[in-house]
């Protein structure tokens, strides 16, 4: 039956570069015969705010994630997670940060250690996570000035903690405000090669 692939898109514009790249991902993954679930956070009007009730029982023995049960079920069942988003101010869009806050929770993505030491990962089914992001800045600012903060957060804090056996990779498209067609085409070829290895 192929792999279960979840694609999460976090961009408010339907004609955005991120939406275009998401469409390419869907085309490639679907064409390979895998089970695909597309989650467009803006289209679904996802509420990124952790509720008071969710926060209140964060350290209880039975965290209640029922308000986002469909997303939780998808996350726990997926083999490959693909997240597509713009990098704004060298960080995640608020809606995507909120999705992580409400999905990567106790009892779903990890368990608290009895002594509140290192978290115990639960996303053992996840084989790979691919982050695809667009930036207006040149590559050297992200790499040498900012030290790639988005990559560090996703690879080490989120995936590294909750799914340590999953292979994490990231494709960043820089200087998107001055993007000639040939550079976009080259990026899409790189994306296709990456997806062929993952799925």
**pLDDT value of position 198:** 87
- Superfamily in which the 4-198 domain is placed by CATH: Flavodoxin domain (3.40.50.360)
Q: Are 64 and 50 in contact (CB under 8 A)?
A: no
Is the overall model pTM greater than 0.85, yes or no? yes
- Strand, helix or coil for residue 86: strand
How does pLDDT run across 96-137, given as a tens digit for each residue? 999 999 999 999 999 999 888 999 999 999 999 999 999 999
Strands (E) across the chain are located at: 4-9, 35-40, 80-86, 110-111, 120-121, 128-134, 167-173
Q: Which of 78, 74, 85, 80 is CA-nearest to residue 21?
A: 85
* Token couple for 22: 């998401």
pLDDT at residue 62, as a whole number: 86
Q: What mean pLDDT comes out for the span 169-181?
A: 97
Question: Quick check: 50 and 20 in contact, CB under 8 A?
Answer: no
- Picking from 134, 98, 120, the residue whose alpha carbon sits closest to that of residue 19 is 134
Mean pLDDT of the chain: 95
Nearest-angstrom CA–CA distance, 130 and 118 = 24
Q: Taking the CA atoms of the chain, what radius of gyration do you get in angstroms?
A: 17
Rounded to 5°, the CA angle 162-163-169 comes to 120
Q: What is the mean pLDDT of residues 165-192?
A: 97
| 144-158 residue pLDDT tens | 999 999 999 999 999
Q: How confident is the model at residue 51 (pLDDT cuts 50, 70, 90)?
A: very high
Contacts of residues 23-26 at CB distance under 8 Å and 24 or more positions apart, as own/partner, are: 24/188, 24/191, 24/192, 25/82, 25/84, 25/132, 25/191, 25/195
pLDDT band with cut points at 50, 70 and 90 for residue 2: confident
Q: Per-residue pLDDT for 1 more than 70?
A: no
Domain boundaries, the chain: 4-198
> pLDDT-based confidence at 14, cuts 50/70/90?
very high
Q: Which range (60-64, 122-126, 158-162) has the least confidence?
A: 60-64
């Amino acid at each position: 039956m192929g792999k279960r692939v979840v694609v999460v898109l976090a961009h408010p514009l339907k004609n955005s570069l991120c939406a275009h790249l998401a469409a390419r991902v869907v085309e490639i993954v679907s064409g390979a015969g895998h089970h695909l679930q597309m989650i467009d956070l803006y289209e679904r009007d996802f509420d990124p705010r952790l509720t008071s009730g969710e926060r209140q029982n964060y350290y209880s023995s039975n965290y209640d994630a029922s308000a986002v049960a469909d997303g939780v079920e998808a996350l726990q069942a997926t083999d490959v997670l693909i997240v597509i988003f713009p990098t704004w101010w060298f960080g995640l869009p608020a809606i995507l940060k909120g999705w992580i806050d409400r999905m990567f929770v106790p009892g779903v993505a990890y368990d608290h250690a009895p002594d509140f030491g290192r978290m115990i990962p639960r996303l053992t089914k996840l084989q790979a996570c691919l982050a695809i992001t667009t930036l207006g800045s040149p590559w050297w600012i992200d790499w040498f000035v900012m030290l790639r903060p988005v990559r560090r957060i996703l690879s080490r804090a989120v995936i590294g903690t909750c799914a340590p056996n999953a292979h994490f990779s990231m494709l960043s498209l820089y200087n998107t405000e001055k993007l000639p067609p040939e550079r976009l085409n080259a990026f899409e070829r790189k994306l296709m090669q990456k997806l062929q290895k993952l799925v």
